[in-house]
């Protein structure tokens, strides 16, 4: 699977999914244990952080994995 990624100047370039370090950032709320279990079963990295401070969770996952940049994809906002 290939993903089309847009750089800062909006020029598209192709990236293979295997070239992207994917981390699911979820909350420490026990309701999200199912998400964590799914990640564990699929071998996907995950991070648990604040439920109420999304920005802090976003920053914490970036610092934990020493990321240079991030892409946030919200699962709770419907189009």
The per-residue pLDDT for 27 is 93
The per-residue pLDDT for 1 is 46
Query: Facing residues of 4 across strands?
Result: 14
Number of residues assigned to the chain: 79
The per-residue pLDDT for 67 is 85
- pLDDT (tens, 9 = 90+) of the chain, 79 residues, equals 444 554 455 555 666 767 778 899 999 999 999 999 999 999 999 999 999 998 899 889 989 998 887 777 776 655 5
User: In whole angstroms, how far apart are CA 2 and each of 15, 41, 57, 62?
Assistant: 6, 23, 28, 24
CA atoms within 13 A on the CB side of 61: 22
The per-residue pLDDT for 51 is 92
């Amino acid at each position: 699977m290939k993903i089309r990624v847009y750089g800062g100047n909006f020029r598209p370039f192709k990236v293979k999914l295997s070239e992207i370090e994917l981390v699911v950032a979820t909350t420490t709320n026990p309701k999200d244990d199912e998400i964590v279990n799914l990640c564990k079963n699929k071998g996907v990295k995950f991070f648990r952080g604040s439920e109420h401070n999304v920005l802090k969770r976003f920053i914490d996952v970036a610092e934990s994995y020493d990321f240079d940049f991030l892409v946030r994809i919200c699962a709770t906002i419907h189009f």
